[in-house]
Amino acid sequence: MRTGYPLRLIIAVLGLAGTLGPAQADLFTPPKGCTAFLTVQSKSCEVIHHWTCNNAPEGDIWLVSVGRHGPNAVQHMDSEFRWLDSYSLQSNNSTRLITPDPDPNSLSELLASGHDTFDFSQANYENGRKTGIEHIRGHDRLIGTKVKIDGEPLLVTEFEIAITTDDGSIIRTTGNQYISERFRLFFQGRETENADGDIYQYDNSPVRFIEPGEPDFLDNTPQYGCNQIMTGLPDAPGVIAAGFAGETGFMPRLSANQTH
- For the four alpha carbons of 69, 65, 194 and 94, in that order, the dihedral sign comes to negative
Per-residue pLDDT reduced to its tens digit, 9-50: 555 545 544 444 444 458 999 988 999 999 999 999 999 999
Q: What pLDDT shows up at residue 89?
A: 85
Q: What pLDDT shows up at residue 69?
A: 86
Q: What pLDDT shows up at residue 92?
A: 84
Cα–Cα distance measured from residue 151 to residue 184, given in angstroms and rounded to the nearest whole number: 16
pTM of the model: 0.82
Alpha helices (H) along the chain: 7-14, 17-20, 107-113
Low-confidence ranges of the chain (pLDDT < 50): 1-4, 13, 16-24, 229-259
Q: Which residues contact 12 (CB under 8 A, 6 or more apart)?
A: none
